[in-house]
Amino acid sequence: MRNVSDRELLIARDIEIIFIIIIFSFLFWAVFPGKKIISNAVNENKNLDLTQLYLKNIAKKYPSNFEVHFALSDIYLKQGDLIKAKESLYPLSNIKDEVLSQKRDLYYARITLFSINEKSDKKDFIFLREYYSSKKFFSSPDKEKYVWEYVLKLISLSLWQESADFAVLALKTADNFEDKKLCLKIFLYSTRAGNLFKKNIRLLDSFAHIFYIDDESANDIIKTYLQAQEPYKAAEYAEKILKLRKIL
C-alpha cells in the first residue's frame, strides 16, 4: 500500500478547509440577513482574508447583489490591492440605477484616493478635489464618512492647505446648512493641523457670517480667531452675533 506524502496531506487538508469555509459561507448567508452580514464585512479590519473569501463566494452565488461587490472592493482597499478593488466594481459598469451608479463613482474616486502619494500626478489631486466638492458627492448619504477619509489622506500627505482650500470650495457647493457646517469643520481642522492661521484668516473672514445663527460653529470661529492672535476679530464677530440676536 502506497504511503501518503506530507505534501499530499497538506493539500488534502487545505482543500478540506476551503470546502468548509464555502459551506459555512452559504449557510451563514442563508441564516442571517444579507445586508447585515455585508455591513459587518465592510467594517471588518482583522480577518480580511477570510472575509474576502466569504464575499467572493457570495458574489459568485448572487452576482446581481451589487452591495456584495462594493463590500468586496472595500476589503481589497484595506488590503492595498487597488487592481482587484477596481475589478470588483466591473459588474456595475453598465448599471443604470442612479443610487448604485453614484455609489460606484464614489468607489472609483476612493480607489484613486488610496493610490495617491506625494509623487502622484497633479491631475489626480484635481480630480479628487472636484469630485469630493461636487453636488453629486454631497448628495451621498455617507458623505461625512467619506469626506473625512479624503481629508485625512490629504493631511497624512501634509497637504493642509489643499484640504483647507477644498473645504472652501465645497462650502460654495453645499446646499444645506449641515453640509456647510461640515465644510467649516474641515476648514478649521485643516487650518489647525497645518498651523495656517495667518494664511487662512482672510478666507475665514469671507464666509464666517454664514454661521452667525449656529452657536457651535460661531464658538469654533471665535476660538480660531483667538488662536490666530486676532482678538479684535473675535470680539467683532461676537458683537455682530449679539446684535443680530438683539442682545446688544
Here the cell at position 185 is 469643520
Provide the pLDDT for residue 246.
76
List pLDDT tens digits, range 96-143.
899 999 999 999 999 999 999 999 999 999 999 999 999 999 998 899
Provide the pLDDT for residue 33.
46
The pTM of this model reads: 0.81
Reported as a pLDDT band with limits 50, 70 and 90, residue 49 is confident
Provide the pLDDT for residue 31.
43
- Going by C-beta distance under 8 Å and a sequence separation of 6 or more, which residues neighbour residue 60? none
- Higher pLDDT, residue 216 or 41: 216
Percent residues over pLDDT 90 in the chain: 64
Reported as a pLDDT band with limits 50, 70 and 90, residue 54 is confident
DSSP track, 114-141: HH--TTS-HHHHHHHHHHHTSHHHHTST
- Higher pLDDT, residue 244 or 220: 220
Give the pLDDT mean for 84-97: 91
- Measured CA to CA, the distance from residue 12 to residue 52 in angstroms comes to 22
Provide the pLDDT for residue 148.
97
Mean pLDDT of the chain: 86
Provide the pLDDT for residue 57.
82
Provide the pLDDT for residue 102.
94
Residue 75 has pLDDT above 60, yes or no: yes
List pLDDT tens digits, range 162-174.
999 999 999 999 9
- Measured CA to CA, the distance from residue 76 to residue 132 in angstroms comes to 22
- Measured CA to CA, the distance from residue 95 to residue 184 in angstroms comes to 35
Determine what percent of the chain falls in helix, strand and coil, rounding each to the nearest 5. Answer: 75, 0, 25
Residue 2 has pLDDT above 70, yes or no: no
Of 19-28, 84-93, 169-178, the one with minimum mean pLDDT is 19-28
- Higher pLDDT, residue 246 or 233: 233
